Each structure stands twice: as structure tokens, then as C-alpha cells.
Chain A
Amino acid sequence: MFLDSIVFNILTILSSISAFIVITAPNPVYSVLFLILVFCCNTGILLILGTEFLALIFLIVYVGAIAVLFLFVVMMLNIKSKKVSISYYTEIITIILPVIIFVLIVLSIKIGHIYTSTKPSDLIIDFNNLNIPTMLDFLGDIRLLGQLIYTYYVVYFIMAGIILLEAMIGAIILTSDKHKDIKRQHIFQQISRDFVNAVFLTEISSKKQ
């Protein structure tokens, strides 16, 4: 028996069932926990494929950052359990038809290229005498990726860092309201005072308490 095949089948079936539970669970906490299970199953599938660095990066970033973020938000907000109602969708054909078309497109591309083999290292079609499993074993996954990222695609790497910085700044500004009641100087407004608009008339509405 091929252990990889058994483990792979278990992982894919578990991941599909967990993904289904994510979208149909009534309680959002259940959804987040099964989302974590989906991420872990896909990490296992990536380990089977031989990309260990990417598998562990998935674990660290997806489970350790994104799913934990979801868990924090779900625990912090007072969310009532939702009811799944499909009665809103009278035009169910608008859902089914794109799904069928998508499935047909993907299968028509992939079925033409099924590569069946019984040798363990024959998963790769050898185009230009390259062999990624051998390269992965020899150079290591991380070094291989580094030889691409830091040389040819360095601009994308730097841009990814800038995008993360902006996301951090945006999230902090959106959720912090500690400084709204503090009186402080607005230096630009003070310096850019003009004699034309230095004195103006305002309306003060009386607030009823």
C-alpha cells in the first residue's frame, strides 16, 4: 500500500469537509476552528508535494497570523449565531451555471495532461533536464526560492514589504480612537493662518442633553 496515497486521500477529504463546515456552520467560532483545520490539512498536502518551506510558511502565516486574527475578532465581537437561508436565491441558476462552466474549463485543461506513473520520482515532466525534486534535495527549498526572489523579483519583494507596512498603519489608524479627545496643537493650521480667513462666523447648534 502506498502510504502517501492514503494520507493524501485522507487529507483532501478532511479539507473538503472542513471547508464545507466553514461556510455552513451557524456559529462563527466553529467556522474559524474548521478554517484552521483546512489550513493544517493543506499544509500536510504541501508536505506531500515536497515543498517543506512553503508548507511551514502556510502554517505560520495562515494559521498563526490570519486565523488567530479571525479568532480574536470573533471572540471580541458579540456575534449572534446566524441562520443559513437559501430562500433569498430564486435564481439558483446564476450560481450553478458559472460553477459548471468553471469546472468544465478546469477539467478540460487538466484531463489532457494526466501523467500516470508508478515510479516515485516521476511526478515531473522533464522539459529541459530540470528536476525540481533533485534540486530541492540538493539546494534546499529556501535557497532555491531565495535565488529567485532576491535577484530577479526583488522589486516585488520590496513592494510586498511596503504593502505590509501600509496594512499595519491602516489597521492601527482604523482601530485606535484613543487620541480623538486629546487637545493638541495643529501646527500646519496655525502657521497657514491667513488674515483673510482669520476671523469667521460660525453657527453653534444647541445640543439637547
Chain B
Amino acid sequence: MLNSIIKFYINAMVLFLLGMLGIIINRQSVITLLMSLELMLLGINMSLITSSIYLNDLIGQMFPLFILTIAAAESAIGLAILITFYRIRGTISVDFISLLKG
């Protein structure tokens, strides 16, 4: 069986940090940005579920359920905005995303 609980936390932390790094690196491509956002949310979910098993509290399994719901809703809306942007602009380069205003 497993030796320590910290390996779970390290896995969750690595996912979260790679997601953050992905947001910083991939400013140019919106789809990879949204995927890095999903990675961050996945890292937080894993951390919460590990804490739930570690600390004997079931709220740590309930909260990721709701986070999952919100992540799905936010992905849907973000991709819908992306599609609309692509329809208008013809490209999904974020250099001109400030032209969406007005």
C-alpha cells in the first residue's frame, strides 16, 4: 500500500502548477489557455479529494462535485465565446482581442 499521503498532494500540486505555467506560456492561443484552466481546476479537485480521505471529512468529496459542475459550465461558455469570436474575426489570434470592446 502507499507509504505517505504527500505523493497525492505532490501530484495535485504539479497539475496545478503546470496549469498556471500553461496560462503564462500560452497567451497566444485561447484554446490551450482554457485547457490550462481545466488543468488547474483538476489539480484543486485532486487536492480536495485527497484532503477528504486524509482528514475524514466528506465535504472534501462534495465540493469537487460542485467544482466539476462549475468547470463544465465555464468551459461551455468560454468555448461558445471562442466560437463567436472566430466567426467574427476569422482567426483566434488574441492579439486583436481588445477589438471586441464596443
A binding-site residues for B, Cβ under 8 Å: 2, 4-5, 8-9, 12, 15-16, 19-20, 22-24, 28, 31-32, 35, 38-39, 42, 45-46, 48-51, 54, 57-58, 61-62, 65-66, 69-70, 73-74, 76-77, 79, 82, 84-86, 88-89, 95, 99, 102-103, 106, 110-111, 113-116, 118-120, 123-128, 130-132, 144-145, 148-149, 153, 156, 160, 163-164, 166-168, 170-171, 174-175, 177
Contacts and interface: CB of A to CB of B under 8 A. Distances in A.
B35 A31 contact: yes
Of the candidates A39, A57, A123, A127, the one having the most CB atoms from chain B within 10 angstroms of its own CB is A123
Contacts of A167: 72-74, 76-77
Interface residues of B, number: 69
Contacts of A2: 1-2
A57 B61 CA distance: 12
Interface of B: 1-11, 13-15, 17-22, 24-29, 31-32, 34-36, 38-39, 42, 45-46, 49-50, 52-56, 58-59, 61-62, 64-66, 68-77, 79-84, 86-87, 92
B5 A156 contact: no
Given A45-B8, A73-B79, A144-B58, A8 B35 contact: no
Given A22-B22, A54-B65, A116-B4, A110 B9 contact: yes
A67 B30 CA distance: 15
B54 A124 contact: yes
Contacts of A4: 1-2
B27 to A, nearest CB: 8
Contacts of A174: 77, 80-81, 83-84
A15 B15 contact: yes
Given A45-B11, A79-B92, 13 more contacts: A12-B7, A12-B10, A42-B15, A50-B53, A51-B52, A82-B26, A114-B4, A119-B1, A149-B65, A164-B69, A167-B74, A170-B76, A171-B80
